[in-house]
């Protein structure tokens, strides 16, 4: 602190001056003694001043807890709460194979929609976009589980531009794609053909469209 330094310097100056006066004035020593004491007091005050002005550190406040009122997104229901297929369950190997085939077919269809690939998945530089597959551009991945339940993950940003009817149609297309792949793999049953596949349309963890429990081929917006 500047004030403390001034007091220290002033005190040293007074001490030096008083000491010189005591040495040179042998008889009149009362005033130099008083000055010497004053110098010591100023010097001590300069040393103590920073401690007198020091403020105790504020004790840390406990963190406030966030309000639990934040709106949570609808998460896909646990598999135990979803309807189980009336057809035989799929093996893990079958599920893995089906999901790989779904991913491959989705990539082919997206290439057709953009005009960058043919029906065999081969790249083409002179292709024409096939607008029958435009719906695939909203979809990022399609999967099926052992209970033949289908989930189509979509881009929430792109989906925001679709009206209700278009979202229902998108879910129907995804369900049809999964059923087609089941047929190709010789895994579709008569029950699958009759009732369709339970299908969900989701953006991240939020369900947007879901099959009706009484009729998988019909959909409802969540």
Q: Return the percentage of the chain with pLDDT > 70, whole number.
A: 64
The per-residue pLDDT for 167 is 93
- Average pLDDT (61-88) is 53
When the pLDDT of each residue in the chain is averaged and rounded to a whole number, the result is: 79
Give the residue extent of every domain in the chain: 2-53, 79-221
- Quote the pTM value: 0.62
Per-position b or e across 95-124, b if 16+ CB within 10 A of its CB: beebbebbeebbebbbbbbeeebeeeeeee
The per-residue pLDDT for 36 is 56
Residue 33: pLDDT band (50, 70, 90) is: low
Determine whether 206 is exposed, middle or buried from the number of CB atoms within 10 Å of its CB (0-12, 13-18, 19+).
middle
Token pair listed for 76: 């896909």
Please report the DSSP string for 103-138 in residue order. Answer: HHHHHHHHHHHHTSB-TTS-B-SS----GGGGGGGG
Query: 116-137, pLDDT tens digit by residue?
Result: 999 888 998 878 999 999 999 9
Residue 58: pLDDT band (50, 70, 90) is: very low
Phi, psi of 102 (to 5 degrees): -65, -45
- Tell whether the model's pLDDT for residue 7 goes beyond 60: no
- Average pLDDT (72-79) is 47
Pairing of strands 199-203, 139-144: unpaired
Q: In this structure, are residues 49 and 2 in contact, taking their beta carbons and an 8 Å threshold?
A: no
Query: 176-194, pLDDT tens digit by residue?
Result: 999 999 999 999 999 999 9
The per-residue pLDDT for 31 is 61
């Amino acid at each position: 602190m500047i004030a403390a330094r001034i007091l220290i310097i002033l005190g040293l100056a007074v001490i030096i001056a008083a000491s010189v006066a005591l040495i040179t004035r042998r008889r009149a020593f009362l005033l130099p003694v008083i000055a010497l004491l004053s110098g010591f007091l100023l010097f001590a005050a300069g040393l103590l001043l920073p401690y007198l002005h020091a403020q105790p550190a504020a004790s840390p406040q406990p963190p406030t807890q966030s309000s639990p009122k934040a709106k949570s997104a609808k998460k896909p229901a646990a598999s135990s709460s979803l309807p189980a297929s009336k057809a035989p369950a799929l093996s893990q190997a079958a599920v893995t194979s089906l999901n790989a085939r779904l991913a491959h077919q989705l990539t082919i269809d997206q290439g057709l929609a953009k005009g960058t690939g043919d029906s065999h998945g081969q790249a083409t530089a002179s292709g024409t976009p096939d607008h029958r597959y435009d719906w695939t551009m909203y979809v990022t991945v399609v999967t099926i589980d052992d209970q033949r339940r289908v989930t189509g993950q979509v881009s929430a940003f792109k989906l925001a531009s679709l009206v209700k009817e278009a979202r229902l149609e998108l879910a129907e297309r995804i369900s049809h794609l999964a059923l087609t792949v089941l047929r190709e793999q010789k895994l579709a049953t008569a029950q699958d053909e009759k009732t369709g596949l339970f299908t969900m349309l989701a953006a991240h963890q939020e369900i947007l469209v879901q099959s009706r429990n009484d009729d998988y081929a019909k959909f409802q917006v969540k």
